[in-house]
Amino acid sequence: MEKVIINDQIVNRIDAKVDMNDRGYHFGDGIYEVIRVFNGVLFAAEEHLERLFKSAKKVNIDIPYSKDKIINLVNTLVELNDVETGIVYFQITRGSAIRTHEFPTSKTEPVFTAFTANVEVPEKELEKGVEVITTEDVRWLRCEIKSLNLLPNVLAKQEAAEKNCYEAIFHRDEIVTEASSSNVFIVKNGVVITHPVTSQILNGITRQVVLNLCEENSIRFTKKKYSVLDLMTADEVFITSTTADVMPVIKIDNTVIGTGAPGSVTRNLQSLFREKANKDTKLVV
């Protein structure tokens, strides 16, 4: 029987109930995280928890549990559900109250929920590369918060799906920010370039891992703004996320990128990423 977490309890999914007045349901008034599970072990859990607490602070939600308690709960869930390769999703909403836009006058108890899913590494796409589209970034200007409000991201991803594309890359005017659920990198003359950390992007955990790998392996990189033209004329393009790893992009809006096949810098980062993910998640017995 599949288990889920509700507050600090692990229960059967069928028994988990959320109040209809939950502010997450009414307003998307909450925050979330997705952590990768490789080899049955959480990858980069500390970093995800740190981002969760930062997001919570920015929207004035008091997480009622410590980082350690959440990691312990989530680890138990992964074990009980026997997840080998997958994800754990968890969210915290402001809690349940009669619907008013402003915070409820009497203090609400934040509601923590989590579930796991088996999600394979997208080997075929990682090998071949994917096609994506570009679309205007119409989101709010607090994208550094991993908030439940994802309607613009949902609409952008749907636009991509309708064109049989894997992802939608956002640009604000002519500047590329990120994608609907991933960060975007270009490679030009051997230099890896990605948007700097501002409130216009989510600072992806995979993004941070990749930049650290660049640093440790003397791969030249810079965090700076770049244009749609830079994107379209890059030697290589790739996107990163918890579920997509380091995903080569070979076509954008039907225009071939570089040689039309994953480039050497992307390939190098893919194998460095895989090495690190395996090293960090292999249980030593």
Ligand X SMILES: Cc1ncc(COP(=O)(O)O)c(C=O)c1O
Catalytic residues: 146
Contact 281, 38 (CB under 8 A): yes
Select 93 or 241, whichever has its Cβ closest to ligand X. Answer: 241
Pick between residue 108 and residue 240 the one whose CB is nearest to ligand X.
240
Is residue 202 close enough to count as binding ligand X by CB under 6 A?
A: yes
d(CA 163, CA 135): 12
The backbone torsions φ and ψ at residue 245, rounded to the nearest 5 degrees and listed phi first, read 55, -130
- Nearest residue to ligand X, using CB? 204
Binding span for ligand X by CB under 6 A among 1-9, 156-164, 174-182, 261-269: 174-182
Mapping DSSP to helix (H, G, I), strand (E, B) and coil, where does residue 215 land? helix
Cα distances from 203 to residues 30, 52, 197, 269, in angstroms, run 18, 12, 6, 18
Minimum CB separation of residue 204 from ligand X in Å reads 3
Residue 51: which of 198, 205, 200, 156 has the closest Cα?
205
Question: Which x/- pattern, by CB under 6 A, does the window 143-172 give for ligand X?
Answer: ----------x-------------------
**Binding segment for ligand X among 85-93, 103-111, 119-127, 199-207 (CB under 6 A)?**
199-207
Q: Applying CB under 6 A, does 240 fall inside the site for ligand X?
A: yes
Q: Taking CB under 6 A as the rule, does residue 272 contact ligand X?
A: no
Residue 241 found at the interface with ligand X (CB under 6 A): yes
* Burial of residue 103, with CB atoms counted within 10 A of its CB: 0-12 exposed, 13-18 middle, 19 or more buried: middle
Of positions 207, 219, 265, 273, contacts ligand X by CB under 6 A: 207
Strands (E), the chain: 3-6, 9-12, 30-38, 41-43, 86-93, 111-118, 130-136, 167-172, 175-179, 183-188, 191-194, 221-223, 236-241, 245-252, 255-256
**DSSP code, position 14:** G
Residue 96 binds ligand X (CB under 6 A): no
Is 206 a binder of ligand X (CB under 6 A)?
yes
Report the distance separating Cα 226 and Cα 218, nearest Å: 22
Q: Judge contact between 30 and 89, C-beta under 8 A.
A: no
Residue 31-60 contact track with ligand X, rule CB under 6 A, x = bound: ---x--------------------------
- Min separation Cβ 203 and ligand X, Å: 8
* Window of 66-74, 113-121, 235-243, 258-266 that interacts with ligand X by CB under 6 A: 235-243
| Residue placing its CB nearer to ligand X in the complex, 23 or 207 | 207
266 contributes a contact to ligand X by CB under 6 A: no
Exactly one of 22, 29, 178, 245 binds ligand X (CB under 6 A); which one? Answer: 178
Rule CB under 6 A: is residue 129 a binding residue for ligand X?
Answer: no
CA 11 vs. chain centroid, Å, equals 26
Residues 6+ apart with CB under 8 A from 236: 186, 187, 248, 257, 258, 262, 263, 264, 265, 266
The DSSP symbol for 181 reads S
Q: Which residue, 97 or 143, is less far from ligand X as judged by CB? A: 143
Given the rule CB under 6 A, which residues bind ligand X?
34, 153, 178, 181-183, 202, 204-207, 240-242
